[in-house]
Amino acid sequence: MTTTPEAIDLLIEARWIAAVDPDVVLENHAVAVRDGRIVAVMPAGEARNRYRATAQTSLPDHLLIPGLINLHTHAAMSLMRGLADDLPLMDWLQNRIWPAEAAHVSPEFVYDGGRLACAEMLRGGITCFNDMYFYPESTAAAAAEYGMRAVLGIAVLEFPTPYASDADDYLRKGLAARDAWRDHPLIDFCLAPHAPYTVSDDTFKRVLTLSEQLNVPIHCHVHETRQEIEESLTTLRMRPLQRLHQLGLLGPGFIGVHAVHVDEDDLDLLTRTGASIAHCPASNLKLASGFAPVARMRQLGINVGIGTDGAASNNRLDLFSEMRLAALLAKGLSGDAAVLPAGQVLRMATLDAARALGLGHEIGSITAGKSADLCAVSLADIRTRPCYDPVSHLVHAAGRDQVTHVWVAGKCCVEHKTLPNHDQNHLESSIALWQNKLEFRRDA
């Protein structure tokens, strides 16, 4: 008896598929997609017999992975890439970045910077990013234009910027942006108090209340530099994480960014509360902030994802280089070559990041029922031959230039290394205009 093939929208056949959950590499399998969701993962021959696909993609020399998730960035700051290099964090912020932002940040700046970041991230296999910046509605518009998934931070500071006058104004404007975008299927929001040294106790308490009412994560820089901790000890007689814990912020919905300078008491707090960490190894090194003890964090069961930080302090939104750097630093710092094998690093950049954002049910693994957020990496190049272990090559040998296809919710956003339906000339013209404005101010 002949069975009628089941209609689907897309069938992707790949030489290898790294499902992440479970931690297996499937050979010569296919992913079936309908209405933007994965309906099955099975051997390619069986899939061809079972399904009739509107579109089919064959990837004979590729590793198919879940879309990468950038757990911490400032997308619009891509327009400041290389503006202020070789400076420590506070000098970089206070004397270069904050003055540049005061002079130039606007809805248009954030929209154009967001478009630049989305184009870069998508071409590097990133399908979702967790952002912290002003005018989140402009970043939302950029992400929606490129078909990216985004979690946008409602940024909160105590001091005025071109965006808002005080903490109440930041929250009011951020919540209005959330209301305006709440029905978009790819756009979510979180609360994003900048850091303990820029946010008061009363504001943190309000952020916590809003987080609980809205059921959204809290995303905050913490323990990035020794200076931050020393100042907190001098003024408050407690470390920043201890302060946040006393205020009730630490918990499964808290994402601490950087967490470079943490002692065993800090790690115990993170472990007991179930908080997550966004590890940004390249930015930590470039700003000379230090080395986060990621191997120890994972040994304790702390959930750790990977972020790029902004392009102004990295200077690239490249999770391939971040994965490799994270693995190598963990091995070197721990003295244990066995820590952070490639499969675990890939999980940090996908499923662990998704769980930190409360999206583990939706993205982060190639699993039936989840959104079809996928990335195809060609391993045909001489730089990735021979191939004994495709996930090892992904982390230690391949680069983002080997990403050939990217899908978000089943829609192809990168096809044969290009961004279909986007006018690159228009984007480049916008970038050139902003470069002229920023260069004029820098040289003044």
The pLDDT confidence band at residue 92, using thresholds 50, 70 and 90, is confident
Q: How confident is the model over 202-242, as pLDDT tens digits? A: 999 999 999 999 999 999 999 999 999 999 999 999 999 99
Query: Do 399 and 288 reside in the same domain of the chain?
Result: no
Report the distance separating Cα 36 and Cα 196, nearest Å.
40
d(CA 44, CA 21): 19
Structure tokens at 125: 């296999």
Q: Is 190 contained in some domain?
A: yes
Does position 442 have pLDDT exceeding 80, yes or no?
Answer: no
Instruction: Using the structure block, give the residue that is written with the tokens 């230039």.
Output: 401
Mean pLDDT of all residues belonging to the chain = 96
Q: What does the pLDDT average to over 286-305?
A: 97
Q: Which residue has the higher pLDDT, 93 or 126?
A: 126
Exposed/middle/buried for residue 304 (C-beta within 10 Å: 0-12, 13-18, 19+) = buried
The CA angle 424-428-431, to the nearest 5 degrees, is: 140
Which residues, including other chains, have CB under 8 Å from residue 316's CB and lie 6 or more apart? 81, 120, 282, 308
Give residues with Cβ within 8 angstroms of 296, minimum separation 6: 267, 334
Find, among 251, 201, 236, 101, the residue nearest to 161 by Cα: 101
The DSSP secondary structure of 249-296, one letter per residue, reads --STTEEEEE--S--HHHHHHHHHHT-EEEE-HHHHHHTT-----HHH
Region 63-92: what's the mean pLDDT?
A: 95
Statement: residue 388 has pLDDT above 80: yes
Do 332 and 247 have their domain in common? yes
- Report the pLDDT averaged over residues 183-212: 98
Residue 437 lies in a domain: no
Q: How far apart are CA 216 and CA 411, in angstroms?
A: 26
pLDDT digits (tens, 9 = 90+) for 247-285: 999 999 999 999 999 999 999 999 999 999 999 999 999
Within a domain: 170? yes
Residues 103 and 177 in one domain: yes
Is 178 found in the same domain as 123? yes
Q: Are residues 314 and 334 in the same domain?
A: yes
State residue 441's pLDDT score.
Answer: 56
Q: 57 with 78, same domain?
A: no
Q: Return d(Cα 422, Cα 418) in angstroms, integer.
A: 9
Structure confidence at residue 444 (pLDDT): 47
Instruction: Record the pTM.
Output: 0.97
Residues 272 and 343 in one domain: yes
Do 224 and 157 fall into the same domain?
yes
Q: Are residues 21 and 105 in the same domain?
A: no
Are 384 and 256 members of one domain?
A: no
Helices (H), 215-253: 226-236, 240-246
Say if residues 377 and 65 touch (Cβ distance below 8 Å).
yes
Residue 424, domain member (yes or no) = no
Check which CATH number belongs to the domain holding 323 and give it. 3.20.20.140
Residue 230 maps to a domain: yes
Domain that holds residue 59: 6-66+369-409
Structural domain count, the chain = 2
Quick check: is 425 in a domain? no
346 and 330 in a common domain? yes
Domain CATH number, residue 30: 2.30.40.10
How confident is the model over 115-127, as pLDDT tens digits? 999 999 999 999 9
